[in-house]
Amino acid sequence: MRVDVVALPDGARLLVGADSTILKHLDLLIRRSFAIGFGIMLVIGLAAGIGFGRRALARVETVSTTTREIMAGDFSRRIPPNGSHDEFDRLAHTVNAMLDRIEQLMENLHAVGSEIAHDLRSPLGRLRGVLELALRVEHVSELRALIAEAVEQTDSALSLCGAILRLSQVESGMRGEAFEPTDLTQLVRRLAETYEIVAEERGDHFQASIHEGLILAGDASLLNQLFANLIENAMKHASPHASVMLRVWRDRTAIVARIEDNGPSIPVERHADALRRFGRLDKARHTPGHGLGLPLAVAIAEMHKAKLSLADAKTEAARPGLAVTICFALPEFSA
């Protein structure tokens, strides 16, 4: 009982009492409910923490296992996403994209040694033969001719080394910071004027259609190298009587350049071979060059966030011709 005593004016005392059993039971019920609720929450929290922890550890172990297998030499291994689209899945996609790039670079590295040896063997072999012959000649005029031929073979080897260095520099992205607004219209127009003269001297036909006001963020010298490589490649493989068409225009989403020729096309299944380093097709082995023109063009295009693709030109000539298309994303300052 809880009792309250009140003094009255006549000296009497008033006692008011109440039964507190219900309040005590209610207080006990609240305490017990809180203890039970807290205990249940604690158990659920611990179970969820252990579950999520084990799941995270399993994902980390998967990444660790995949990494160890890659370190052991299996560059085809990838981190499997579980389809939850959580942070681990996003990380897996990013790492897998990085591994794809590393695998591509490793394949290029493995191929580059044998391809360099293959392309250098011929000029170095001829150089050695010329030098051996020069040791046996007695006339100065013959010696001069042999020395000139030796210099020519040396220039061929140096040209290969220079092309490899240019390709490596572009692929490393060393010149990406030098990008600035470039007038693509004027750049391609100057190239077109030059190659029109070259084509006329060779008995070929070169035609260009270039839209006005095409501005691109990029490196002018590399873009010049890109278009020069593609034009020369088209004229070389379509000759004799090559017919090359260069078109550059702008659509809603990109600046598009297309170089078409009337030469032999490349089968779809050989496109990847044509675009890789030293990827010269068998029918092109007799022509001068090292198979680095298209790979260099691809590297320059990728540096400028552009996509280079091959297709049949579908000309009216007997041969389908090859069409090389480059799509440059519109720069932000063009909006």
Give the pLDDT score at 138.
75
Strand order in the sheet with 243-250: 205-210, 243-250, 254-261, 322-329, 306-312
User: Which token pair is 62?
Assistant: 């998967």
The pLDDT assigned to 248 comes to 94
| Residue closest to 284 by CA, chosen among 265, 298, 258 | 265
| Closest to 181 measured CA to CA, from 335, 334, 307 | 334
How much is the pLDDT for 201?
87
Phi first, then psi: give them for residue 79, nearest 5 degrees. Answer: -80, 120
pLDDT at 132 over 50: yes
Task: Retrieve residue 210's tokens.
Answer: 């270039």
Nearest to 260 by CA among 197, 316, 331, 305: 316
What pLDDT was estimated at residue 286? Answer: 47
CA 281/CA 279 separation, integer angstroms: 6
- Stronger pLDDT, 211 or 53, i.e. the higher one: 211
- For all residues of the chain together, what is the average pLDDT? 80
Cβ atoms 218, 176 nearer than 8 A: no
- The band of 279, judged by pLDDT with boundaries at 50, 70 and 90, is low
Name the more confident of 178 and 250.
Answer: 250
- The larger pLDDT score, comparing residue 316 to residue 219, is at 219
Mean local confidence (pLDDT), 11-20? 86
Q: How far is CA 184 from CA 8, 172, 319, in A?
A: 107, 24, 31
Query: How high is the pLDDT of residue 285?
Result: 42
Mapped onto helix, strand or coil, the DSSP state of residue 174 is coil
| Number of neighbours of residue 115 by Cβ within 10 angstroms | 21
Q: Of the ranges 11-20, 77-86, 206-215, 291-300, which is most confident? A: 206-215
- How many CB atoms are located within 10 Å of the residue 1 CB? 7
What are residue 62's DSSP bridge partners? none
CATH superfamily of domain region 176-334: Histidine kinase-like ATPase, C-terminal domain (3.30.565.10)
Give the integer Cα–Cα distance in Å for 176 and 11.
103
Tens digit of each residue's pLDDT (9 = 90 or more) over 237-275 = 887 788 899 999 998 889 999 999 888 878 888 777 777
Confidence of residue 192 (pLDDT cuts 50, 70, 90): very high
Q: Tell me, what's the pLDDT at 193?
A: 92
- The dihedral sign for the CA sequence 33, 39, 45, 47: negative
Task: Work out whether strand 205-210 and strand 243-250 pair parallel, antiparallel, or are unpaired.
Answer: parallel
pTM of the model: 0.57
User: Contact, 301 vs 285, CB < 8 A?
Assistant: no
Instruction: Look at residue 115 in the predicted model and tell me its pLDDT.
Output: 61
Domain ranges for the chain: 2-67, 87-171, 176-334
> Angle, to 10 degrees, between the axis of helix 293-303 and the axis of helix 220-238?
150
The DSSP element (H or E) to which 27 belongs, if any, is: helix 21-71
75 three-class SS: coil
Residue type, 318: A
Tens of pLDDT along 50-105? Answer: 888 888 888 888 888 888 888 887 777 888 887 777 787 888 888 888 888 887 77
Q: Is residue 63 a contact partner of residue 39, using CB atoms and an 8 Å limit?
A: no
Structurally, what CATH architecture does the domain formed by 87-171 represent? Answer: Orthogonal Bundle (1.10)
